[in-house]
Amino acid sequence: MSDVTRMTAAQIAGLIASGETSAVEVATAHLDRIAAVDERVHAFLHVDREGALAAAADVDARRSRGEELGPLAGVPVAVKDVIATKGIPTTAASKILEGWKPPYDATLVERLRGAGTVMLGKTNMDEFAMGSSTEYSAYGPTNNPWDLGRIPGGSGGGSAASLAAYEAPLAIGTDTGGSIRQPGAVTGTVGAKPTYGGTSRYGLIAFSSSLDTPGPCARTVEDAALLHAVIGGHDPRDSTSIPQPVPDVVAAARLGATGDLTGVKLGVVKEFAGEGAEPGVIAAFRESVEALVKLGAEVVEVSCPHFEYALPAYYLIAPSEASSNLARFDGVRYGLRSGDDGKRSLEEVMSLTRDEGFGPEVKRRIILGTYALSSGYYDAYYGQAQKVRTLITRDFTSAFEQVDVLISPTTPFVAFPFGSRTADPYQMYLSDLYTIPTNLYGGPAISVPCGLSEGLPVGFQIMAPTMADDRMYRVAAALESAVGTLTPPEL
Amino acid sequence: MSTTVLPSYEDATARYEPVIGLETHVELGTNTKMFCGCPTEFGAEPNTQVCPVCLALPGALPVANRAGIEATIRIGLALNCDIAEWCRMARKNYFYPDMPKNFQTSQYDEPLCTDGYVDVEIDGETVRIGIERVHLEEDTGKTLHVGGATGRIHGATESLVDYNRAGIPLVEIVTKPVPGIGAKAPEVAKAYVTELRDIIRSLGVSDVRMEQGSLRCDVNTSLNLPGEEWGTRTETKNVNSLRSVERAVRSEIIRQASVLDAGGRITQETRHFQEDTGDTRPGRSKETATDYRYFPEPDLVPIAPDRAWVAELKASLPERPSVKRARLREEWGISALDMQSVANAGAVELIEQTIAAGASPAGARKWWMGELARRANETGVELAEVGATPAQVAQLQALVDEGKLNDKLARTVLEGVVAGEGDPAQVMAARGLGVVSDTGALQAAVDEAIAANPDIAAKIRDGKVAAAGALVGAVMKTTRGQADAKTVRDLILARLS
Amino acid sequence: MAAISREEVAHLARLSRLAVTDEELDRFAGQLDVILQSVARIGDVAADDIPPTSHSVPLTNVYRDDVVQPCLQQDDVLAGAPDAAEGRFRVPRILDEEE
């Protein structure tokens, strides 16, 4: 049999269901692949070999008993380390949580287990999901399998790289300002941000509560849809969870894969179609638009005048919420405590713990958020950003009266070399220029590979109305059928 | 520290006009915490009533308890407030180890209930206390200070934190400033807290016990010269009984008057009431107060109480305690003063239920305000938890009315009831108590007593009926108290007439 | 004009319980100034009459029933604690009530 690590999740599930291979064999092949290449890629912060093999053996046992298993039973999945996994280290790539083992599972982890998927381990990321390159991981960056000297995107660079390195066929990411889509774009993989409230945040270590959205990462659109269907849906433990079923994203992906987009109206975001992006990115995007037209889609240009304020609004709202969300890391109940010499006061110990436990980007954002919420600045910063958020939502609403989905490049530039954007934080923030508006609006968006620029992957972003996640899967699958998937060089 | 001579209270209030305001926290008696399903029982082992949510474990999220929202709305309605059509919870950000998230989930500029009032009666005059707002928030954990002299924070070498209480719903009730009450300010403050306690108790949403901390009170006080603007206010915390509310206002008025008399100015600050001395001492100064950086809680969605639901809650409010007391006073035929003692003892509902179970108002009141109130006081428990139910008290009184128990026996039976030996009838049977109703046996005892006391018998025959008491006592002694004194007396007089 | 001073950053760090070093303070002050200058243009948007958005999903009244759920075991609660004693979380002496 050919190498299972090169197969899609759908193919693997098919082979396991038909008995041609076992879940244990599949898990072993992926664990061996991780052992072989992860020293170079560093996609994983923790590999749970024992747990993965036990879960796989359980799937095999259930299958042999004739139990009916879900469509992804036995398929391995990698989980971003910002998601709580019972008894398995969960650090959010921060020193402040080093060694912490949650006493509970996130809702989506429960659902992954319930669906019979096999969790391989926890993937690397920017600390507390703050960053666009994984360079802010306290445990060292992840290297892009396309070029080990370049960033894999962020914050979910580990999840995306694990797919591009064939260490896992599926991964879970979280998207606050583009942390699923931008890594997907720069690693040539698929990353979907579901509608906010369409996937549960219970157990997701909060960065920005009103923006954080867990979602699927995969190498194909159909695989992403299959994973989306497993983790999505209402969760009573998350007050912001939408009490409606997720649209049938799998059917939509399969419909799109037929390559027919007749009657579908695409809107190119005028503000994102040229300025600020690398020429190679623009070229790949334009070629893909033409390909979509050939499939029958109608393309128009749509103006979203407030999108240019999305980045500033985001960098006020997200740090504000983060400054409050991260207050709980104080060295009292869990995680790191430093400077407790028996003489220092609690206040001193807390401050030393937080200074030592948090990395520079996290500290910058805590200070920025504290500033934006302070009395005297609240109205001009946080308050104004919340109003701009309303205007961005209105831009989306009126755009979706004209078109079915909006399209743009996922990120203005391809994977950049390590260290090239860390000196000036704002240059790093520009990575998320095109992805952020969706988060402020709350709708779904997906990044799908659409070609190469200077030998590196370019991502194509499709944005849909809230709770119309199926629409973006249809268009994404159609594009995938036209341009094909990307294969990285051998490691 | 200060050598200022304190003016008398009368002097202080003759020259200055006080303005008071009260902030009251009520811990709701819901089964579970405000944002998670942990129980709220008092006194559990430390850190056993906690979960990822109330421990603020990374990733955990809150979901609001419907009962907490409903209770807050009912309190608001009972205080004549407007109920918000739409409002949000907010995060109040500050670091303190008893607060697991290092922010308190509370309400800021969008309280659930606003603009109400409570009327209290002082010397037959009604004073209306405006209610600024009623909002919902969560309680903190408890910190044990170790190594200090008295378990206080000062001098402690370390502290131990228990999060069982963290997340229990708290309702904060804030009055508008109350001016124009002059020397009655302390009384008004006490009457307000009493009325508030009674209203909340009547709603059944909290046990409102100040000594257990389920009702906590902060008192704001300021003084101004007549005709001038209101003065700078201080906030007095740690006021843990109704009596302390009154004392705290009184002592703060005297203290502020002495500062003003000396030409000083009042600092806006938090002060702590000292239960032992009855005065207040400075705490944290408000001028350096932190910036709480309130913002809408993104993890909880807005609260938009359905108007029909609010109307339904309003329609089903219980009778206002003051109205109810006036009605019952009439029905029971007692004085205002007696009614006040009944209310203060927390006996209104107990007596009402005892009457409903068949007892006369006088009989019901006698037991609850007498024997049972005394026991509750001695053992330091609430009257409702003294160990007897209204039904049992009604049965006891019935046995007395039927002549099966006399007063002395009834008290003994009640002791058995309180000790958990069962209903009065069961206690009577088990302990072999009860009035001797066998007239044959009683007659024999009477004859025996007459025979043993010929001098006394002769006096009675001569018409000195008062002497019968001695013979009654003798009979009671031989029957070990189990006879009805009146019956015995009648038998003696019949025999000797 | 700088959008934020070194002193302001020091104050914010104290408020955030971050014992930043002098070197960090210098660096952050410069970086935060650049960031704030960039985001300040949000003030250019005319939004006086625009309602703010705090939640992107239009949900209201999401409640749970007042029914007790299982708690964690005390051992599990304290397992991750940096320091614990007598079933409680141990912390160093507390300076003041709250800042």
Q: Which chain B residues are Cβ-neighbours of C64 within 8 angstroms?
A: 37, 63-66
Give residue B42's pLDDT.
87
In this structure, what is the dihedral angle of CA atoms B118, B122, B125, B130, given to the nearest 10 degrees?
A: -20
pLDDT at B266 over 90: yes
Asked if B300 reaches chain A (Cβ–Cβ under 8 Å), the answer is yes
Contact call for C21 and A354, based on CB within 8 A = no
Residue in A415, A416, A414, A396 with CA at minimum distance from that of residue A406: A396
Q: Which amino acid, one-letter code, is at A115?
A: A
Give residue B284's pLDDT.
57
Instruction: Tell me the angle at which helices B407-418 and B390-401 cross, rounded to the nearest 10 degrees.
Output: 160
How far apart, in Å, do the first and last CA atoms of chain B sit?
81
Give residue C98's pLDDT.
42
The shortest CB-CB distance from B160 to any of C63, C67, C85 is to C85
Contact call for C91 and A346, based on CB within 8 A = yes
Q: What is the C-alpha to C-alpha distance for residues B470 and B363, in angstroms, rounded to an integer?
A: 28
The shortest CB-CB distance from A373 to any of B64, B97, B293 is to B293
The pLDDT tens digits of the residues spanning B35-93 come to 999 999 988 999 999 999 999 999 999 999 999 999 999 999 999 999 999 999 999 99
pLDDT at B150 over 80: no
Q: Which amino acid, one-letter code, is at A80?
A: K
Please give the interface size between A and B, counted as residue pairs whose CB atoms are below 8 Å apart: 98
Contact call for A364 and C35, based on CB within 8 A = yes
- Touching partners of C (3+ C-beta pairs < 8 Å): A, B
Give residue A1's pLDDT.
53
Q: What is the C-alpha to C-alpha distance for residues C63 and A235, in angstroms, rounded to an integer?
A: 12
Give residue A381's pLDDT.
95
Give residue C96's pLDDT.
60
Average pLDDT over chain B, rounded to an integer: 91
Contact call for A92 and B102, based on CB within 8 A = no
Asked if A165 reaches chain B (Cβ–Cβ under 8 Å), the answer is no
Window 64-123 of A: residues touching B by CB (8 A cutoff) are 83-84, 90, 92, 97, 100, 102-104, 106
Percent pLDDT > 90 in chain C is: 88
Q: Which chain B residues are Cβ-neighbours of A334 within 8 angstroms?
A: 57-58
pLDDT at B372 over 50: yes
Q: Which chain C residues are Cβ-neighbours of B153 within 8 angstroms?
A: 94, 97
Please give the interface size between B and C, counted as residue pairs whose CB atoms are below 8 Å apart: 137
Least confident window among A458-472, B474-488, C57-71: B474-488
Instruction: Tell me the angle at which helices A107-114 and A221-231 cross, rounded to the nearest 10 degrees.
Output: 110
Shortest distance between the Cα of B110 and any Cα of chain A, in A, equals 15
- The ipTM (two decimal places) reads 0.97
Q: What is the C-alpha to C-alpha distance for residues B458 and B471, in angstroms, rounded to an integer?
A: 12
Do B365 and B334 contact (CB within 8 A), yes or no?
yes
Parts of chain A with a pLDDT under 70: 1, 274
Does the B439-496 domain belong in CATH 3.30.1360?
no
Element (H, E) at B152: none
Q: What is the C-alpha to C-alpha distance for residues A86 and A51, in angstroms, rounded to an integer?
A: 11
Question: What is residue A45's DSSP assignment?
Answer: E
Omega into A155 within 30° of 0, i.e. cis?
yes
Give residue C1's pLDDT.
62
Least confident window among A210-214, B306-310, B381-385, C57-61: B381-385
Give residue B189's pLDDT.
96
Q: What is the C-alpha to C-alpha distance for residues A204 and A201, in angstroms, rounded to an integer?
A: 5
Count each helix (H run) and each strand (E run) in chain C, helices first. 3, 3
How does DSSP assign B215-242, residue by residue? Answer: EEEEEEEEEE-TTSPP---EEEEEE-SH
Give residue C95's pLDDT.
81
Contact call for C4 and A336, based on CB within 8 A = no
Q: In terms of pLDDT, which residue wins out, B461 or C55? A: C55
* 3 state DSSP class of B136: strand
Asked if B167 reaches chain A (Cβ–Cβ under 8 Å), the answer is no
Give residue B151's pLDDT.
65
Give residue B385's pLDDT.
85
CA A329-A333-A336 angle, 5° bins: 55
Contact call for A239 and B62, based on CB within 8 A = yes
Q: What is the C-alpha to C-alpha distance for residues A173 and C36, in angstroms, rounded to an integer?
A: 29
B interface test, pick of A239, A343, A344, A373 with most B CB neighbours within 10 Å: A239
Largest CA distance in chain B: 95
The pLDDT tens digits of the residues spanning B204-246 come to 999 998 888 899 999 999 999 999 999 999 999 989 888 899 9
Contact call for A374 and B293, based on CB within 8 A = yes
Give C22: exposed, middle or buried? Use CB within 10 Å, 0-12, 13-18, 19+.
exposed
pLDDT at B394 over 70: yes
Q: What is the C-alpha to C-alpha distance for residues A316 and A341, in angstroms, rounded to an integer?
A: 37
- Structure tokens of A26? 């599949």
Please give the interface size between A and C, counted as residue pairs whose CB atoms are below 8 Å apart: 188
The residues of A assigned a catalytic role are: 80, 155, 179
Q: What is the C-alpha to C-alpha distance for residues A213 and A318, in angstroms, rounded to an integer?
A: 13
Give residue B492's pLDDT.
87
Phi, psi of B321 (to 5 degrees): -55, -40
Q: In terms of pLDDT, which residue wins out, C98 or B284? A: B284
Q: In which order are the strands placed within the sheet that holds B103-106?
A: B103-106, B90-93, B295-296
Window 162-191 of B: residues touching C by CB (8 A cutoff) are 162-163
Alpha-carbon separation of residue A324 from A314, B6, B262, C16 (angstroms): 16, 46, 45, 9
Do B364 and B393 contact (CB within 8 A), yes or no?
yes
Least confident window among B2-6, B230-234, C23-27: B2-6
The pLDDT tens digits of the residues spanning B336-367 come to 888 888 887 889 989 999 999 999 999 999 99
Q: Which chain A residues are Cβ-neighbours of B93 within 8 angstroms?
A: 323-324, 327, 373
Give residue B488's pLDDT.
85
Domain with CATH 1.10.10 in chain B: 439-496
Residue ranges and CATH numbers for the domains of chain C are 6-43 (1.10.20)
Give residue B1's pLDDT.
46
Closest residue, chain B, to C85 (C-alpha): B160
From the options 3.40.30.10, 3.90.1300.10, 3.40.50.1100, 3.40.50.20, give the CATH code of A4-257. Answer: 3.90.1300.10
Q: Which chain A residues are Cβ-neighbours of C36 within 8 angstroms?
A: 368, 371
| Sequence-separated (6 or more) residues with CB below 8 Å from residue A194 | A213, A214, A215, A216, A228, A232, A246, A444, A469
Contact call for C35 and A346, based on CB within 8 A = no
